[in-house]
Amino acid sequence: MSLRLGDTVPNFTQQSSEGEINFYDWAGDSWVILFSHPADYTPVCTTELGTVAKLKEEFAKRNVKPIALSVDDVESHKGWIGDINETQGTQVNYPILADPDRKVSDLYDMIHPNANNTLTVRSVFIIDPNKKLRLTLTYPASAGRNFDELLRVIDSLQLTDNYSVATPANWNDGDDVVVVPSIPTEQAREQFPKGVTEVKPYLRLTPQPNR
């Protein structure tokens, strides 16, 4: 199946490096970042999994649970985790799904035959507490992911869920934001007491409202 933004993501039960996981139960009321890997013992993935372990507190501050997937089995994952901990100077502190039967890979359309018909691509899924898909990114196997960018997008999603704003290009937490076009400027000035700067009638900026 092909998942689109706003779709309810499918549930699954699968083994992981931390035991059997029912995805919906494990996610609970948290946001989730699910990211896949082509195989165990691959160099780029080793750096990515270590990076996510080091960012665990940043994800936790945002009520986000990270979970990885690789098509190899649990025993392979456990050996690989030892290498990750050793080479990346960290401790893997989140589950890695085992997917030797490709069940989750197929559910989430992680295998792209024209890239490689046996291995998962580097897919990223950000899923909200309602189990709705909010972002997908797919990287080629040769390009490591930028997890600072993924944290930035999560900040944007959580901000814009709660306020009538959008985030402009290269926005970072604390920067000015865009007032959504559906709000007239006079109403915006009342709604955003920190001030509204009208660059164009359709482009209005205001300080980030939750700062």
Distance, in Å, from the CA atom of 114 to the CA atom of 99, rounded to the nearest integer, reads 20
Distance, in Å, from the CA atom of 99 to the CA atom of 33, rounded to the nearest integer, reads 17
Report the relative pairing of strands 133-139 and 122-127 from DSSP bridges. antiparallel
The torsion angles phi and psi of 37, rounded to 5 degrees, stand at: -135, 145
Distance, in Å, from the CA atom of 132 to the CA atom of 7, rounded to the nearest integer, reads 5
Which residue among the candidates 45, 49, 97, 177 is catalytic per the annotation?
A: 45
H-run or E-run covering 153: helix 147-162
Whether residue 45 lies in the annotated active site: yes
Q: Residues near 37 by Cβ (< 8 Å), separated by ≥ 6? A: 45, 48, 49, 68, 69, 70, 120, 122
Which residues participate in catalysis according to the annotation? 45
